[in-house]
Structure 1
Amino acid sequence: MTRYVMVAGAWLGGWAWDEVAAELRARGHEVRAPTLSGLAGRGDVPADQETHVRDVVAEVDRLGPGEVVLVGHSYAGVPVGQAAERIGARLSRVVYVDANVPVHGESFLSGWPSEEVRRSIAEHGGVWPPPPAGEFAGQGLTDEQIARILARATPHPGATLTGPAVLDGSPGDLPATYVKCLLDGEDPPPAAAAHLAGGRWELVRTDTGHWPMFSRPRELARILHESAARA
């Protein structure tokens, strides 16, 4: 039995993992899928980057003693990667699902053209609103799946996107799996690619889009199960 703490990316709450969690629980695993501060049912909680790191660490603490696999999707790779360092010996493995990887002193928005996102945050009172349905095109999602995502997506607290990551060491020193969703591009981001070259990380490719918990939940659960087995 493996214990997972799984965190979804921007605009999403713990509900995004429902299908994946069901598959993992059917295999006998324990799954926690916390909703980060400022999102979904916790939309009234102020949040910056450090808040989200503490959210993940607190969820691990609630599990008590024993090892855990941390899973971060998209944006959530940034706080999950920092939390992985903080939980120390309790970490079994980190799985980055088409995710950003934290870099000390850099934010989620560092390293890619972000002026449009920053402007959107400023124009919407400090939050990043969910994208229109067209932004999900070409990612292996059905119209029903896109509608389901947008029906529950909530604005993302902007301070979590612009605040810097704080690391004592390198994420490359921790055992990790990087899941690259090929419909969202063939290559991992540069920070992930550098760690993959270091030998402690493994790369898994899957022929689906950026939201595999919706488009391929059973396949993603299998990948998570197999990654934990190699921890």
Structure 2
Amino acid sequence: MKTHIVLVHGACHQAWHLHLLAQTLDAAGYTTSTPQLPSAALDPTGPSCTLAGDTAVITAALEAAAATSDAILPVFHSYAGVPGSEAVAALSNSAKAKIPRLVYLAAFVLEPGTNVLAADGGDGSESSSWIGRQGDCTLPVPDPIATFYHDVEPALAAQAVKHLVKQAYEPMAAKATQAGWKLFPVTYVFCAEDRAVPAECMRARVETILGDERLRGRWEVLTLEGGHSPFLSRPDECARVIRRAAGEDVGVDGWR
């Protein structure tokens, strides 16, 4: 039985945005799950629209996958790297034993005590962060195509924009409590033309991690061409990265 791949979307997005990648992996013989995070919704103001609420959803999805699969591969995009890291740390020992590695796709990797607001190098306050606040939600992204989908085929990019939803603010401000990325081998994927996640800061963060000899040998770092959403702009390439992380012998042409 091939690995069960759990694909987790980022802020303002939905499981829909991962449908091409899921279809590509399904066609290659994998089972996929795409849980919907409660903090991204038309009205993300309920009690579960928090970092803890997102973590609970991811944990449940991974435990369910582990119950019916010999191996599970979590893939976290963008903001999902934060609740994803919390979730893998909270898994049962039997589920943890089924994870060969984690995949962070243009994702936040935080130390406990830090948050997404500070990921631009600021001090974590609203005034220093690139994420603005509007009540219980973040401010709408002013130009989502330029930010998320500048290299996506125009008709598909327009569809993707229509499926964007509001994002609860609390998960952006909540401090990480777990560094689940320390528990497993990791594939970290940068997107060369990413306009959404602060690549310079994330590169500095990854370089800091790789400075730890205990972690360096367990991490591989790849770069895909294009923008923040390779699951829409280049789903085949994105799928090959994930299939390789799952242990399949696939080529690496075009990666660096």
TM-score normalised per structure 2: 0.80
1:4 alignment partner, SS class = strand
In structure 1, give the amino acid aligned to 2:206: A
Q: How many residues align?
A: 228
Stretch of structure 1 that moved more, 193-202 or 203-212 = 193-202
In structure 2, give the amino acid aligned to 1:189: R
CA RMSD of aligned residues (A): 2.6
8 Å CA contact retained: 2:117, 2:131: no
Relative to structure 1, the CA distance from residue 130 to residue 91 in structure 2 (aligned partners, 3 Å threshold; closer, same or farther) is farther
Relative to structure 1, the CA distance from residue 94 to residue 137 in structure 2 (aligned partners, 3 Å threshold; closer, same or farther) is closer
8 Å CA contact retained: 2:8, 2:76: yes
Query: Quick one: which of 123, 132, 135 aligns to 1:125?
Result: 135
Stretch of structure 1 that moved more, 138-147 or 200-209 = 138-147
Query: Quick one: which of 65, 79, 101 aligns to 1:93?
Result: 101
Residue aligning to 1:222: 240
2:6 alignment partner, SS class = strand
Residue aligning to 2:110: 102
Stretch of structure 1 that moved more, 35-44 or 67-76 = 35-44
Residue aligning to 2:228: 210
Residue aligning to 2:52: 50
Relative to structure 1, the CA distance from residue 2 to residue 116 in structure 2 (aligned partners, 3 Å threshold; closer, same or farther) is same
Deviation at 1:213, TM superposition (A): 1.1
Residue aligning to 2:167: 156
In structure 2, give the amino acid aligned to 1:145: L
Deviation at 1:158, TM superposition (A): 0.5
In structure 2, give the amino acid aligned to 1:68: I
Could you tell me how far apart the structure 1 residues matched to 2:136 and 2:45 are?
13
Gaps of 5+ in 2: 250-256
Could you tell me how far apart the structure 2 residues matched to 1:119 and 1:97 are?
20
In structure 2, give the amino acid aligned to 1:211: S
In structure 2, give the amino acid aligned to 1:115: S
1:92 alignment partner, SS class = coil
8 Å CA contact retained: 1:11, 1:156: yes
Q: How does 1:110-149 map to 2 (within 5 A)?
A: 110-112=118-120, 113=122, 115=127, 120-121=132-133, 124-133=134-143, 135-136=146-147, 139-149=150-160
* 1:72-110, Cα deviation, whole Å (9 max, x unpaired): 111111111221222232322110001100210111112
Relative to structure 1, the CA distance from residue 118 to residue 221 in structure 2 (aligned partners, 3 Å threshold; closer, same or farther) is closer
Residue aligning to 2:186: 176
Stretch of structure 1 that moved more, 208-217 or 19-28 = 208-217
In structure 2, give the amino acid aligned to 1:76: A
Does residue 22 (structure 1) correspond to residue 33 (structure 2)? The answer is no
Relative to structure 1, the CA distance from residue 205 to residue 186 in structure 2 (aligned partners, 3 Å threshold; closer, same or farther) is farther
Deviation at 1:164, TM superposition (A): 0.7
TM-score normalised per structure 1: 0.87
Residue aligning to 2:61: 59
Could you tell me how far apart the structure 1 residues matched to 2:99 and 2:62 are?
9
In structure 1, give the amino acid aligned to 2:100: S
8 Å CA contact retained: 2:7, 2:33: yes
8 Å CA contact retained: 1:35, 1:42: no
Could you tell me how far apart the structure 2 residues matched to 1:154 and 1:137 are?
13
Sequence identity (%): 26
In structure 2, give the amino acid aligned to 1:128: T
Residue aligning to 2:87: 83
Residue aligning to 2:254: none
Residue aligning to 1:38: 39
* 1:48-90, Cα deviation, whole Å (9 max, x unpaired): 1111111100111222154311111111111112212222323
Relative to structure 1, the CA distance from residue 28 to residue 98 in structure 2 (aligned partners, 3 Å threshold; closer, same or farther) is same
